[in-house]
Structure 1
Amino acid sequence: MLIQYLTQEFEHEVSNTRKLLQAVSEKDIAYKPAAISWTMGELAQHIATIYYWYVGALTQDVYDLASDKLERGEASDLQATLALFEANVKKAREALSTLTPEKLDQEWTMKAGDRVVLGPLPRGMVTRGFLFNHIYHHRGELIVYLRATGNPVPGLYGPTYEESRR
């Protein structure tokens, strides 16, 4: 039953993520709120990339970022980021379909070469915390970027303030 709920949440939130990524304006792709921040394009690309990590997190016991090369394209190319998102969602959906209750209890580790980045943690915690919540966190940042640049923010869990005022 838990896997069914995770899958339903995944599908619902993919739709919300798509709305946000589609709300990014080409004219504001280079916007960043501070010198240490990502540009809006880099942030959008990172969100699209997280879906790629589902494969390593859900199908491998140890996922090594250093040995996994993902072609992302230019962060300033919004169409490339949207295509990356759609391709990675497909891969994430396939990886999510391999989950079993037993796999949720197995330990998982993320490495970058010899350095442990995350874990070991039960894969169930990784699924919720590292994959799902990680995306939600960065979507919140992207909403701030959209608001700061005057772009409309799509409603994710009901209408936004602007949508409710129409």
Structure 2
Amino acid sequence: MYHNLSGFFESWEFEAGATSRILKNLTDESLKQEVTPNQWSLGRIAWHTVTAIKVISSQAGLRFEAPSEDWSVPSSANFIAESYIKSSHKFVEALETQWTDQTLLEQVDFFGIKMTKGSLLLFLNQHQTHHRGQMTILMRQAGLNVPGIYGPSKEEWAQFGMAEPRQSLFD
């Protein structure tokens, strides 16, 4: 739970930047990647991550212009990435003008779950982190490079002068 907006903004800046880096590495073709047939595609998860900013925060009364319809999924990876950046900026602007630190203590009903607005902001950050993890798996399956988030990715180890991690104890 966040107890002040400045703490949330610091966290959101890092997490939104990480999500943006993931989305910017997608290609139009990769948006079709699925784990198995009839499961959410990489594009569907990416677009859901964009629209969830408004859907989740609007449950707590925050108002701003951003996409909120999950369907249909855009066919342009660049459009998805740019939409995320715009939605994130509008979200932060709305928080700065509509909420205060005291607002974070107010209770909301989030799809039947009672929580504070500060907890809702934590949920939103964790929600995008969850979907970022799903996207990185699908990115690997699609043959894309994955940027590091909480440390270097496999592709980035060499940039730090490090040997690539071993695949097993027997390598």
What is the TM-score of this pair, normalised by structure 1?
Answer: 0.79
1:50 aligns with 2:46: no
Q: 2:39 is paired with a residue of what secondary structure? A: coil
Q: 1:122 aligns with which of 110, 116, 127?
A: 116
Other-structure match for 2:68: 70
1:149 aligns with 2:142: yes
Q: 1:135 aligns with which of 123, 128, 141?
A: 128
Deviations along 1:92-118, one digit per CA (max 9) or x if unpaired, are 1112213323211111124xxxxxx24
Supply the distance in 1 between the matched residues of 2:11 and 2:59 (Cα, whole angstroms): 17
What is the TM-score of this pair, normalised by structure 2?
Answer: 0.77
1:1-166 to 2 correspondences below 5 Å? 2-53=4-55, 55-60=57-62, 70=68, 74-97=73-96, 98-110=98-110, 117-129=111-123, 131-166=124-159
Query: What CA RMSD, in Å, does the superposition of the two structures yield over aligned residues?
Result: 2.5
Describe the shift of the 1:70–1:156 C-alpha distance in structure 2 as closer, same or farther (beyond 3 A): same
Contact 1:17/1:139 (8 A) holds in 2: yes
Q: 2:32 is paired with a residue of what secondary structure? A: coil
Counterpart residue type for residue 28 of structure 2 = E
For structure 2, the 5+ residue unaligned runs are 160-171
> Per-residue deviation at 1:53?
3.2
Contact 2:32/2:42 (8 A) holds in 1: yes
Describe the shift of the 1:94–1:30 C-alpha distance in structure 2 as closer, same or farther (beyond 3 A): same
Bigger shift: residues 117-126 or 136-145? 117-126
What is the aligned length?
153
Q: 1:108 is paired with a residue of what secondary structure? A: strand
Which of these two proteins has the greater Rg computed from alpha carbons? Answer: 2
